[in-house]
Structure 1
Amino acid sequence: MKKYTTFLSFLSLVALSLLLWQCNMGSADSVSPNQNGTGGSMARFAITGNTLYIVTRQSLDVYDITQPDAPTRQAKAELGLGIETIFPYRQNLFVGANDGMYIFNNQQPQAPTLLSKYTHVMSCDPVVVQNQYAYVTLRGGVGCRQWVNNSSLDVVDVSDPANPKLINSQPMQSPYGLGVDGDKLFVCEGISGLKVFDISDPTQPRLHHNYPEVASYDVIPRQNLLIVTGQNGLYQYRYGDNIAENSMELLSKIPVE
C-alpha cells in the first residue's frame, strides 16, 4: 500500500508538470477552453485558467492562483465524506466520490455551481469524460466497498449534466484509473494489467487488447503518448492513431522503489 501511495503521489507530480507544460500548447477536445493541460483520472486537483481546484475527503476547494506564490481560497463546497477524484471537461467539473459522481458547472471558475449528483453503490470510482459520455470504474472488495466484490465499467450519458443517465455497465476484474482518447479507452486493472477498449461506439466499450504484463494504476493519454503508473514505476508508451493497429511501444521507464 505504501508503494502504491508513492506511485499515485508521483503521478500527481507528473500530472502537475503536464498541466504547467501545456499551458501554452494548443488545446485538444478533451481539454476545456481554459483548462491547463491534462491530469489523470485519480487526480485530486485540476487547474482551469487562474483557478486551482482541490478535492479533499469531504469538499471541493477553489483557489485563485493569479499570483502563484500567494494562492487565495475563493470557495469551499462541502460534499460529505468519501470524495476521491476530480476531472475537468469543457465547462464542467466531474467529482468522483464513494457513492456517486458530482457534476459542477464552472463557467464562473471561482464559483462552480452544483448541477447534479449521479448516485451509485458504494465503491471507488475514478471518472473521465469525452463528448457526451462519462466513463466510470467501480472497484469492489476495497476499503470503500468492503462487502461488495463486483466491479464494473459504467457508461453515463452526461449530455444533460443536470440529469446524467446510466447507458451501459459491464463487469471488470479490479479496475483503478482510466483514460480516454478518441476511439480508445484505457482501463487500469492493477496487477491484472492494462486493458484497451474500442469505443468507436461510445456507448458500448469493446475489449480490444489486454496487456497483462503492464501492471497499472492510472494513465494519462495525450497525443499518442500514454503515461502509466505501473507496479514498479512510471512508464511512457507510444500508441497508434487507429485502434486496429493494436500496438504500444515502450519509450521510457522511471523506476520507483
Structure 2
Amino acid sequence: MMKKIKYILLSIFVVLLTMSCSKSGSSNSQTGNGSSDGKGGSLATFALKDDYLYTVDNQKLNIFNVKQIENPVKVNQTDIGFNIETLYSLDNYLFVGSRNGMFIYDITNPENPKKLSETQHFKACDPVVANKTHAFVTLHSNTNCGNNTNVLLIYDIKDPINPELIHQRNLNFPRGLALHEDYLIVCDDELKIFNVKNPSEPFLVSSFNANFKDVVVYDDVLFAFGEKTINQFKWTRNDFSSLRQISSIYYEPAK
C-alpha cells in the first residue's frame, strides 16, 4: 500500500510539472495525436480533465469537481467491475485497465461517464495508453495478477463502441508504457521503443538496458520511474538512438 501511495505522489508530481510546462507556452507538442489535461503515467489511478478529477479504486470510478482546488467536491461514482487498476484519459474518453480487460468511457458529460465498451483478456495486470485511433495495452503476470501472460495488445478504437484487437506480441515482463507521436515506449526487461505508425505491424527501433516501472513523455523529455529513482532522458528530433540521461532523483521506498 505504501509503495502505491509513493507512486501516486510521484505521478502527481509529473502531472503538475507537465501542466505547468504546458501553461508556460514553451511548446504545443501533443503526445499520441490527442490532448490530455494531465499527463499521468500509464499506471496512474487518476486523470484530470478540465475541472474534473477522475479516480479509480478496486471497483469504482469516482468523479470530483476540482474547479475550486482548495475545496474539491465528489459529484458522482459509478461501478465498473472488479480488480480495477489503472486510468488513462484522452480527449473525451477514459480508458480503464483492469486485471480482466479494458473499459472505454465517454465523458462528454463529465459528471456522468457513459460506458461505451469493454474488452476481455486472461487475468493479468493491465496498463493502457491511447491515441485517437488505437489503444495500447500491456499485460504482465506476477503473484498478484496470476497466469503467465506477458504481451503487448493493440486495439483499433476508431469505433470506440467496438474496439478490435489488431496485434498481439509476446514480451518478457512489460509494465508501464507511453506514446510519443509514432512511437510506443514500453517498460519491459529493457526500455523498448516501437514504431507504431502502422499499428497492426509495429517494429522495434531501439532498446536500452534499463529497467523501469513506468514512463511519461513530454516533448523531448522522457520521465522514467524506477524502483528507487525518477530519471529524465532527452532525445533529438525523434532520433531515439540519441536518448541520453540528463538527471536522476533517488528516493528510499517506504517500508
Corresponding residue of 1:207: 204
RMSD over equivalenced CA pairs, Å: 2.0
User: 1:63-110: CA deviations, max 9, x gaps?
Assistant: 111111111111101112211111111211101111111100111112
User: 1:1-30: CA deviations, max 9, x gaps?
Assistant: 96x647623432323323542563546254
Corresponding residue of 1:28: 30
TM-score (norm 1): 0.89
- 1:126-137 equivalences under 5 Å are 126-137=127-138
Q: Distance in 1 between matches of 2:10 and 2:104?
A: 24
Q: Distance in 1 between matches of 2:21 and 2:38?
A: 5
What are structure 2's unaligned runs of at least 5 residues? none
Does 85-94 or 194-203 show the bigger shift? 194-203
Q: Distance in 1 between matches of 2:132 and 2:241?
A: 24
Q: What is the aligned length?
A: 249
Corresponding residue of 1:225: 221
Q: Distance in 1 between matches of 2:45 and 2:79?
A: 15
**Secondary structure at the counterpart of residue 126 of structure 2:** coil
Corresponding residue of 2:233: 237
Matched-pair contact (CA < 8 Å) for 1:31–1:90: no
Corresponding residue of 1:171: 170
**Secondary structure at the counterpart of residue 105 of structure 2:** strand
Corresponding residue of 2:157: 158
Identical-residue share of aligned pairs (%)? 31
Matched-pair contact (CA < 8 Å) for 1:178–1:186: yes
Structure 1 residue 94 and structure 2 residue 90: aligned? Answer: no
Q: Distance in 2 between matches of 1:50 and 1:87?
A: 16
Q: Distance in 1 between matches of 2:16 and 2:126?
A: 24
- Describe the shift of the 1:68–1:51 C-alpha distance in structure 2 as closer, same or farther (beyond 3 A): same
Corresponding residue of 1:246: 241
Moved over 3 A (4+): 4-7, 29-33
TM-score (norm 2): 0.90
Q: Distance in 2 between matches of 1:18 and 1:31?
A: 20
What are structure 1's unaligned runs of at least 5 residues? none
- 1:31-42 equivalences under 5 Å are 35-42=36-43
**Secondary structure at the counterpart of residue 145 of structure 2:** helix
- Describe the shift of the 1:57–1:6 C-alpha distance in structure 2 as closer, same or farther (beyond 3 A): closer
Corresponding residue of 1:78: 79
Corresponding residue of 2:191: 194
Using the TM superposition, give the Cα deviation of residue 111 of structure 1 relative to its aligned residue in structure 2, in angstroms.
1.5
Amino acid of the residue matched to residue 217 of structure 1? K
